């Protein structure tokens, strides 16, 4: 089951009687424009003051003459925006062509999932299905900053309180390898011959010119600067400092 379907089924399961839910994912297109010149590029195409949109906020407006949601979000760690609009091929082409033309002076270019994966790993952004899934919890994944136990009840609250009280047994960390060879999903992680965890994401960092990755390790070995090992020696760093 794909994440969209899984999320939708979960929401339907917990739906209140006076709420109607409709999955319109197939009717909405998403185009992400990311990078230091993204604001200057998009500002040419809209009357909305993009500089006033705070991080993780969005507005509704026209861009390239198309009604859309303009969101100050992204999955790259760069300045950027995500645009949500009608998933009509003609509309998509219109928006795409307008953005590519507006960004010509900044050498804009398309980027695929491989490039995005490198950027999000450098930033320490997690990927559902790799770094987090139904077997992980927010506390061990370093997402405790978005779990507010003092804001009333929520689904899973009691389970998380139990985890917090007992203490987490493992932790998601980021690491840098000593070589250019990237670690890969599923690789085992060792410390002095003892298996202490596994890699969830890995790639080559063009900036560092080394392999980087994330993975879950025994909480005993999750400290900043910890030396861990797979086929080669890796310098481990806390994922929050990735």
Q: Which two tokens stand for residue 40?
A: 């200057």
Q: How far apart are CA 53 and CA 149, in angstroms?
A: 29
What are the Cα distances from residue 133, in Å, to 105, 140, 153? Answer: 41, 12, 22
Segments in 14-106 forming alpha helices (H): 38-43, 89-102
Q: How far apart are CA 173 and CA 161, in angstroms?
A: 22
Exposure letters 16-53 (e unless 16+ CB within 10 A, then b)? eeeeeeeeeeeeebeebbbbebbbbbbeebbebebeeb
Segments in 108-215 forming alpha helices (H): 113-123, 157-166
Whether 16 has a binding-site annotation, put simply, is no
Q: How far apart are CA 133 and CA 131, in angstroms?
A: 7
Closest CA to 214 of 120, 134, 145: 120
Q: How far apart are CA 242 and CA 238, in angstroms?
A: 7
Q: Which two tokens stand for residue 148?
A: 């507010």
Q: Which two tokens stand for residue 238?
A: 């806390």
Position of tokens 């930033």? 123
Which positions make up the binding site?
A: 82
Which positions make up the binding site for substrate?
A: 82
């Amino acid at each position: 089951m794909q994440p969209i379907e899984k999320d939708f089924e979960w929401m339907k399961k917990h739906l209140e009687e006076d709420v109607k839910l409709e999955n319109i994912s197939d009717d909405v297109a998403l185009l992400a424009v990311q990078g230091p010149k993204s604001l200057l590029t998009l500002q040419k195409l809209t009357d909305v003051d993009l500089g006033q949109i705070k991080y993780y906020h969005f507005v509704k407006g026209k861009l390239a003459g198309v009604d859309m949601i303009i969101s100050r979000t992204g999955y790259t760690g760069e300045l950027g925006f995500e645009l949500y609009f009608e998933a009509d091929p003609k509309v998509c082409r219109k928006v795409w062509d307008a953005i590519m033309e507006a960004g010509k002076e900044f050498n804009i270019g398309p980027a695929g999932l491989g490039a995005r994966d490198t950027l999000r790993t450098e930033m320490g952004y997690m990927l559902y299905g790799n770094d987090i899934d139904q077997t992980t919890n927010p506390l061990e994944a370093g997402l405790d900053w978005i779990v507010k136990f003092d804001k009333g009840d929520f689904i899973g609250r009691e389970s998380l309180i139990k985890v917090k009280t007992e203490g987490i047994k493992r932790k998601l960390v980021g690491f840098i390898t000593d070589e250019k060879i990237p670690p890969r999903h599923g690789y085992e992680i060792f410390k002095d011959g003892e298996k202490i965890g596994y890699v969830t994401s890995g790639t080559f960092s063009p900036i560092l010119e080394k392999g980087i990755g994330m993975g879950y390790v025994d909480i005993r070995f999750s400290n900043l600067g910890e030396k861990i090992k797979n086929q080669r020696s890796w310098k481990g760093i806390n994922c929050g400092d990735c």
